[in-house]
Amino acid sequence: MRKRNHRSPITSVILYSLLALTLVFVFFPLFWMLVTSLKTPIEANELPPTLIPRTPTLDAFKFLLERWHYPEVLLNTFVIATFSALGATILSGMAAYGINRLQFPGRSAFYGFMVATLALPGMVTIGPIFMTYKDIGLLDTRLGLTLVFLSGGLPLAMLVVFSALNSIPRDIDDAAAIDGCSWFDTLFRVMLPIAMPSFVVSFLLLFIHAWNEFLFAYILSVTPEKRVLTVRLFEMPNRGDVYLPQYDLIAAGGVLVLLPIIPILILGQKRLVEGILAGATQGT
């Protein structure tokens, strides 16, 4: 019979105190951003600051929704993040399956090259990409940003899917081959359902990365209609009649950037945890 591990009261107090402190560090900035976004410009600049707005107002949100052209910018961000994450996940899944299961010349070199590209700073490639996009007409387009985010997410997605495929027994491939499945059928009809949590993790990680991307989105988009949310947050409009730091607008902009992605994270959190733990569970 297994002996229960009883914690002492002091240990429990320490653990719960550390947990509470961690939650404060994680959630207080979000709380403060929301509170500040509901303040008037004058109250947002008061010292000492007020913890709860005296006269809550949505003026900052109304101003940004109008000046940002928020629905159009939100659509740009969602389309670019979705298609870049989806494309990178599919292509990286095929690449990971080929490296993990197939034998071909340069297999190890290709895998090492893909891993090495993770260490390549984006600042190194932004110049050549900008000049190339300008020449071929992809500058200031959704397609251009989608392709950049897709190519940048391929190495990470490939590593995530590769680790999942590596934990799946190769007997499954042999059984699929006996049934007459090609490598393409084996990947999409056999491996994909088994490794689905890892594919979901890959998609969510790349979606969040594309949603938060700033450097390439700022350099490769020119007109306000083609901007994404992170760039619009950087290009904070001036209210004009208030000669104070626009803390309320900055906080409201942060809420508008963060708010649409919260439902996606809530709906995908179970799959995210399953995918992260899948390799460890299957490998034991």
- Three state DSSP letters for the chain: CCCCCCCCHHHHHHHHHHHHHHHHHHHHHHHHHHHHHCCCHHHHCCCCCCCCCCCCCCHHHHHHHHHCCHHHHHHHHHHHHHHHHHHHHHHHHHHHHHHHHCCCCCHHHHHHHHHHHHHCCHHHHHHHHHHHHHHHCCCCCHHHHHHHHHHHHHHHHHHHHHHHHHCCCCHHHHHHHHCCCCHHHHHHHHHHHHCHHHHHHHHHHHHHHHHHCCHHHHHHCCCHHHCCHHHHHHCCCCCCCCCCCCHHHHHHHHHHHHHHHHHHHHHHHHHHHHHHHHHHHHHC
Provide the pLDDT for residue 78. 94
Contact (Cβ atoms closer than 8 angstroms) between residue 201 and residue 92: no
Which residues contact residue 36 at a Cβ distance below 8 angstroms, ignoring those fewer than 6 apart?
44, 247, 248, 250, 251
Residue 7: band (very low, low, confident or very high) from pLDDT cuts 50, 70, 90: low
- Rounded-to-integer distance, Cα 277 and Cα 272, Å: 9
Pick the residue with more confidence: 54 or 275? 54
pLDDT at 268 over 80: no
Look up the pTM and report it.
Answer: 0.83
Q: Go through the domains of the chain in sequence order and give each one's CATH number.
A: 68-235 (1.10.3720.10)
Q: What is the mean pLDDT of residues 171-186?
A: 82
Provide the pLDDT for residue 168. 81
Residue 35: band (very low, low, confident or very high) from pLDDT cuts 50, 70, 90: very high
pLDDT at 27 over 80: yes
Q: Return the CA Rg of the chain.
A: 24
Residue 38: band (very low, low, confident or very high) from pLDDT cuts 50, 70, 90: very high
Provide the pLDDT for residue 44. 86
pLDDT at 281 over 50: no
Provide the pLDDT for residue 170. 81
Q: Which of 128, 119, 84 is nearest to 219 (CA)?
A: 128
Mean pLDDT of the chain: 84
Contact (Cβ atoms closer than 8 angstroms) between residue 158 and residue 94: no
Contact (Cβ atoms closer than 8 angstroms) between residue 248 and residue 60: yes
Provide the pLDDT for residue 283. 44
The alpha carbon of 124 is separated from its chain's Cα centroid by a whole number of angstroms, namely 22
Q: What is the mean pLDDT of residues 217-240?
A: 86
Tell me the Ramachandran region of residue 48: left when phi exceeds 0, alpha when psi lies from -120 to 50, beta otherwise.
Answer: beta
Pick the residue with more confidence: 270 or 230? 230
Pick the residue with more confidence: 4 or 75? 75
Taking the CB of residue 45, how many other CB atoms lie within 10 A of it? 15
Q: Which of 220, 215, 251 is nearest to 233 (CA)?
A: 251
